Amino acid sequence: MTSLRIEREKEATIGFLKERLNRPDYSYIFIAGPTCSGKTTLSYLLEQFFWEKNISVTVIREDDYFKNIENIPRGPRGFLTDCTDAFHIEELKRDFKNYLENGKAALPMYDVATNKRLPSKQYVLKNDVTIVEGLHVISLFSEIKNSIFIYADTSIDICLKRRINRDYLKFRIPEQRIIQHFNECIMPSYEKEILPQRNMHDVILYDSARGD
């Protein structure tokens, strides 16, 4: 794979990706990276770009495959929400295979507020471009051809700040509790399972604040 390093904050970033992803041989886009690194934002921007060009898009999110809270692994300090065992990984891979082979799939939906899967399904059809985003999707789907793999290499300090803002505003979780959970429950999964995907990318999308 060709390694390309581009800065998220530069205006040329999205333009660069648009130009590259406009190539007809890229049917699948996989966006991975740590929590609060901008994966969902990027997927939304790219989805908008394709629809504006009358190119149909399907977006599949790993977060919809979270296990119910009582089934997520727990460490000494709390739930290990960012490890692969916190997700129905085999179901995700099975649904994606069905999507590829049959051109459609029934995907789960997850309610973050209750940490439970919803009883209803979302039905998707295969479109011109498929975007799959989530913590582990590069390692999970590295064998898929006609793909581009994007790793959002946002500074972990920035990810933590975004996590604090999100969890406090949405759920009123105290800042100190968020920091403790981040350091003791999220960071081990990040270092073991998420960060290694940085070496499996086509594009690294990083913040200029990293300074590297």
For the stretch 124-178, pLDDT in tens is: 999 989 999 999 999 999 999 888 888 998 889 999 999 999 888 877 889 999 9
Cα distances (angstroms) measured from residue 149 to each of 136, 139, 160, 188, 196: 11, 10, 24, 23, 13
Tell me the whole-structure pTM to 2 decimals.
0.86
Amino acid at position 79, single letter: F
Q: Quick one: pLDDT at residue 49? A: 80
Question: What own/partner pairs with CB < 8 Å and gap ≥ 24 does 177-182 have?
Answer: 180/77, 180/78, 181/77, 181/78
What is 29-92 written as a DSSP string? EEEE-STTSSHHHHHHHHHHHHHHTT--EEEEEGGGGBPPGGGS-EETTEE-TTSGGGB-HHHH
- Token digits of residue 192: 């073991």
CB atoms within 10 A of CB 53: 12
The pLDDT of residue 1 is 31
Q: Indicate the SS3 state at residue 133.
A: strand
Mind listing the pLDDT tens digit of every residue in the chain (212 residues)?
A: 333 344 443 344 556 666 666 665 568 999 999 999 989 988 888 888 888 888 899 999 999 999 999 999 999 889 999 999 999 999 999 999 999 999 999 999 999 889 999 999 999 999 989 999 999 999 999 999 888 888 998 889 999 999 999 888 877 889 999 999 999 999 999 999 999 999 886 777 765 444 33
Distance CA 177, CA 207 (A): 26
Q: Could you tell me the two tokens for 5?
A: 């390093």
The answer to whether the CB of 197 falls within 8 A of the CB of 32 is: yes
Query: Is the Cα torsion angle 156, 61, 87, 1 positive or negative in sign?
Result: negative
Q: Write down all domains in the chain, each with its CATH number in brackets.
A: 4-210 (3.40.50.300)
Confidence at residue 121, expressed as pLDDT on a 0 to 100 scale: 96
pLDDT of res. 25: 59
Distances (CA, A) of 52 to 29, 49, 55, 90: 17, 5, 7, 34
Residues across the chain: 212
Query: For the chain, how big is the Rg over CA atoms in Å?
Result: 17
What's the confidence (pLDDT) of residue 13?
52
pLDDT digits 0-9 by tens, 169-185: 877 889 999 999 999 99
Residues 6+ apart with CB under 8 A from 193: 82, 83, 84, 135, 136, 139
